[in-house]
């Protein structure tokens, strides 16, 4: 019986991934700030799929949260086979204008909490030689992003961290993947103040579609999972274009 921990599971891609894991009869641990939304999702998954679902309301902007989450599960003897680091957020605005605390919280959730949860649960996976890590990155991680500089930089970290980890455990049975969505219909754009930006006005994918692509890629052991051909094509164009052109295009899309 596989047990999967999913952060940011109360909505969007995290919620859709929870449905996919539950459909495959994985036991679930759902973590997010919204206890009410988590409980409603947990009850739905239990009823529909007959799986065990545990809810852990968690605020990953707190530096101590990952260790507390790990310790609580360890005390109850729960072994986590798969960690889905989905929690994360962005904020549009110039570096000089976005409140410093907001930028530091972004780094805490997108980078520090993801790294901590990976490090805490990875030794157990290695000892059992099963399971893996699914990190949610972004096409933002493949280029700099003026007016979303911190967010784009955090997603570059997620991408590179995942690739490095995949090589470190390449001789084991663990699966290590980074799902890279582009604009997606979730609450992300509202939180990030991106609703009117050109990036989202050009179109977005459904969270259900993105989650399905990521889930399949993870199960197949793909390290870099691109959410759709359009996003794959975007990343290829970034690799072939001069850096100053890439910066200016990203700037235009974020305004």
Q: What is the pTM of this model?
A: 0.92
Q: Is the pLDDT of residue 27 over 60?
A: yes
Residue 112 to residue 99: CA distance in whole angstroms:
19
pLDDT of 73-109, one tens digit each?
999 999 999 999 999 999 999 999 999 999 999 999 9
Question: Cα 27 from chain centroid?
Answer: 19
What are the helix (H) ranges across 32-177?
A: 35-49, 65-75, 100-107, 114-128, 149-168
Residue 224 to residue 138: CA distance in whole angstroms:
11
Q: Taking residues 127-138, what's their average pLDDT? A: 98
Neighbours of 24 (CB within 10 A): 12
Confidence of residue 192 (pLDDT cuts 50, 70, 90): low
Quote the number of domains for the chain.
1
Kind plus residue range of the DSSP H or E element containing 55: strand 53-57
The pair of structure tokens assigned to 231 is 């996003």
Confidence at residue 230, expressed as pLDDT on a 0 to 100 scale: 86
Cβ atoms of residues 12 and 184 within 8 Å: yes
Q: DSSP letters of 204-249?
A: -EEHHHHHHHHHHHHHTT-SEEESSHHHHHHHHHHHHS-HHHHHHH
Residue 182 or residue 109, greater confidence: 109
Residue 215 among the catalytic residues: no
Measured CA distances, 125 to 85, 98, 122 (Å): 15, 38, 5
* Straight-line distance from the first to the last Cα atom of the chain, in angstroms, rounded to the nearest whole number: 47
| Domain residue limits at 161 | 3-253
Q: Is the pLDDT of residue 201 over 80?
A: no
CATH number reported for the structural domain that contains residue 249 in this entry? 3.40.50.720
Given 151, 152, 157, 215, which residue is catalytic?
A: 151
Confidence at residue 191, expressed as pLDDT on a 0 to 100 scale: 60
Q: Taking residues 34-55, what's their average pLDDT? A: 97
């Amino acid at each position: 019986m596989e047990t999967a921990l999913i952060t940011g599971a109360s909505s969007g891609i995290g919620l859709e991934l929870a449905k996919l894991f539950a459909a495959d009869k994985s036991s679930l641990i759902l973590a997010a700030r919204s206890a009410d939304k988590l409980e409603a999702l947990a009850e739905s998954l239990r009823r529909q799929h007959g799986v065990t679902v545990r809810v852990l309301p968690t605020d990953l902007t707190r530096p101590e949260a990952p260790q507390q989450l790990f310790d609580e599960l360890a005390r109850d003897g729960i072994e986590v086979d798969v960690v889905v680091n989905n929690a994360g957020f962005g904020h549009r605005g110039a570096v000089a204008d976005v409140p410093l605390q907001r930028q530091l919280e972004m780094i805490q959730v997108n980078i520090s909490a993801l790294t901590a949860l990976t490090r805490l649960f990875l030794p157990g996976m290695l000892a059992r030689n099963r399971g893996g890590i699914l990190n949610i990155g972004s096409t933002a991680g493949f280029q700099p992003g003026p007016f979303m500089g911190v967010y784009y930089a955090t997603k570059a970290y997620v991408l590179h961290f995942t690739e490095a980890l995949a090589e470190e455990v390449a001789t084991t049975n663990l699966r290590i993947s980074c799902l890279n969505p582009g604009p997606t219909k979730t609450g992300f754009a509202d939180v990030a103040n991106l609703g009117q930006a050109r990036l989202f006005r050009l179109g977005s994918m459904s969270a259900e579609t993105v989650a399905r692509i990521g889930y399949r890629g993870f199960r197949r052991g793909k390290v870099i999972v691109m959410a759709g051909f359009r996003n794959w094509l975007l990343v290829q164009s970034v690799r072939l274009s001069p850096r100053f052109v890439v910066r200016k295009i990203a700037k235009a899309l974020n305004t």
